[in-house]
Every structure is written in structure tokens, then in C-alpha cells.
């Protein structure tokens, strides 16, 4: 069994933790670039009767 599963994590949580630790371990000049790539934005639009009602950005 995978270690992340034994720790009670799902794969997404495990990979997020690993990525965060890797970015912290980088040299300062490379860390800045990696932090920029780590940002993600998603847009969620609720639809009712085939028409968009509300849009949220996370």
C-alpha cells in the first residue's frame, strides 16, 4: 500500500504537500518563479435552465 494512503491522504493532498515542500527547498531565485507557477485560478459558473446564474473565481 502506498505511504500516502497509509497516512490517510488522498493522492491530490499528497501531491500538493510534496509540491509545496519542493518549492520551499529551491534556491531563492528559482523559488520566486516556482511560486508564480503554483498559483491557480478556477472559475465556477452555476447554470439553471441552460443559463448562467452566478460566476465565482477561486
pLDDT in tens, 8-55: 889 988 988 998 899 899 999 899 888 887 777 677 788 888 888 876
State how many domains the chain has: 1
**pTM of the model as a whole:** 0.56
pLDDT at 56: 62
pLDDT at 55: 64
Task: Please report the sign of the dihedral spanned by the C-alpha atoms of residue 6, residue 7, residue 8, residue 12.
Answer: negative
- Mapped onto helix, strand or coil, the DSSP state of residue 41 is coil
pLDDT at 21: 92
CA distance 54 to 44: 8
pLDDT at 25: 94
pLDDT at 41: 67
Domain of 44? Answer: 3-57
Amino acid at each position: 500500500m502506498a505511504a500516502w494512503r497509509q497516512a490517510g491522504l488522498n493522492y491530490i493532498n499528497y501531491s500538493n504537500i510534496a509540491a509545496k515542500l519542493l518549492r520551499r527547498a529551491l534556491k531563492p531565485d528559482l523559488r520566486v518563479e516556482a511560486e508564480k507557477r503554483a498559483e491557480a485560478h478556477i472559475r465556477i459558473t452555476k447554470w439553471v435552465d441552460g443559463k448562467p446564474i452566478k460566476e465565482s473565481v477561486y
